[in-house]
Structure 1
């Protein structure tokens, strides 16, 4: 029988999740089943499954937190625009990986020459509202249908953790391939140190739902270097403002220290700000 953690009410307050216990359990059981299908699938099977499992997840859960958060989307996009603009030039090509409704590429369209949205489906994109310099690219979950060295800035937000472990490095190699020399990939992903960050937070100590893997600074840096990136930095970005870029050794040291603390001390607002990962990988 599926059981919630004894402190699930405190976790709900922290996550601002007001659902009843039976709805949390229903969400968890569905997400575990779908996630286990992805984890057990072969590479070819996963490329067909990514779109199917997420469609089933959202269609089956009308009270899914991401649906409730739709109203906060414009504010989040504004913060992302503020963070990304300093890295862009008027003649650049921008690529959003996992673009969803493409609201972020749309918002950046006046800043640069061309904006591209990459996803497994274009079902959420309002093409009638698309700017003239926007182009949608369909992916199987890993491959990017672009020429080598054709992108100046790539970005993904809360995507990396949803990729099967075997697909994560393959996608990073694709991003590296399409970036021009000196181009940047900005990746925002939750930290395993303060996680889990999917529905399994109410049940488990590590991510077991649709977050295939949650990373820490060390594991993400290692993966990016293996994919061919020459420099990895981890700036602290709050509300779209670049506050500082601490040395990797300092962040890794703090991360290691936090891992020794009880989960209730690691999973707080201040640890979340410090350990919330924004990686800037340079080709």
Structure 2
């Protein structure tokens, strides 16, 4: 996300919009055989032509312990091996490596990733297509695979292949933990600036909980739940099981989502969803933990 105080001109926004529209068309029209090449070229062009995006991207808060609390609570304690898909500027994976986890960050383009994090212990870097991870990593090698704001950038045809790729490099009972913007509070890409109701830019598809839970089950994941918000996590101190609370929280999200889906006008649905978010009973982002069998 761009810092609110960042100085952005109208020309910068229009240039960004035109480029994203052109690149989005290429990405959506790409065939599976050429897709990695086209995605790598497109994202390299985006960050090369609009290099101010890297400069204006929000930096980690002064207290990353607070910012990444929900991630560390979901992951658990080290030692564990963690593989991140789409590490961006590397804030999350660098923080986890400092906590003692054995980490690998990855990106589809060399315009992001390793160049932003230098000489970090417990952290290695690589490139991948973000889909066929078994072609880049050993089978059953990692305890945890994570992605933060990545799935919405994948071609919609590749969702199940992506989930299978994550499962392939996870050890038995390993977990895929990820966040992605919820469609009902979006769009969450540059489309929002131009008042679109659905993403038109390089968020190729923004999802619902129900879609992702169904896809995870089809691939064979089990024990799917939501990581608990930090406030709710405190309840586990009183002997309440985090897994059960996470499953109950997911059912709450699915129920609210089903009710919101009954609102036919997208702008009104978004308004109601954001009102529920302000009441702390809905989220802008889907956040899921899924365990490999």
- TM-score w.r.t. the length of structure 1 is 0.81
The 1:208–1:191 alpha-carbon spacing in structure 2 relative to 1, beyond 3 Å, is same
Corresponding residue for residue 234 of structure 1 = 226
**Alignment root-mean-square deviation, CA:** 2.9
Shift of residue 267, structure 1, vs aligned partner: 5.8
Partner residue in 1 for 2:78:
90
Match of 1:68 in 2: 56
**1:49 — aligned with what?**
38
2:107 to 119, 130, 147: 119
Alignment of 1:18-57 (within 5 A): 19-57=8-46
1:271 maps to 2:277 = yes
Does residue 196 of structure 2 align to residue 204 of structure 1? yes
Q: Equivalents in 2 of 1:55, 1:242: separation in Å?
A: 42
Q: Is the Cα–Cα contact under 8 Å of residues 139 and 169 in structure 2 kept in the other structure? A: yes
* Structure 2 Cα separation of the partners of residues 22 and 135 of structure 1: 38
- CA shift, 1:62, in A, is 5.0
Distance 1:27 1:211, change over 3 A: same
Structure-to-structure mapping, 1:164-183, within 5 angstroms: 164-183=155-174
Report which stretch shifted further, 188-197 or 273-282. Answer: 273-282
Q: Residues 175 and 190 (structure 1 numbering): CA distance in 2 closer, same or farther, change over 3 Å?
A: same
Question: Contact between 1:81 and 1:104, CA under 8 Å: does it hold in 2?
Answer: yes
Deviation for aligned residue 1:105: 2.4
Hey, what's the Cα distance between the residues in 1 that align with 2:269 and 2:52?
27
> How many residue pairs are counted as aligned between the two chains?
266
CA offset at residue 138 of structure 1?
1.9
Distance apart, 1:129 and its partner CA:
1.6
Is the 1:115–1:135 contact (alpha carbons within 8 Å) kept by the matching residues of 2? Answer: yes
What is aligned with 2:212? Answer: 220
- TM-score, normalised to structure 2, is 0.79
Distance 1:165 1:281 in 2: 19
Shift in alpha-carbon separation, 1:233–1:218, aligned structure 2, 3 A: same
Unaligned residue ranges in structure 2 (runs of 5+) = 236-244
Give unpaired runs (5+ residues) of structure 1.
1-14
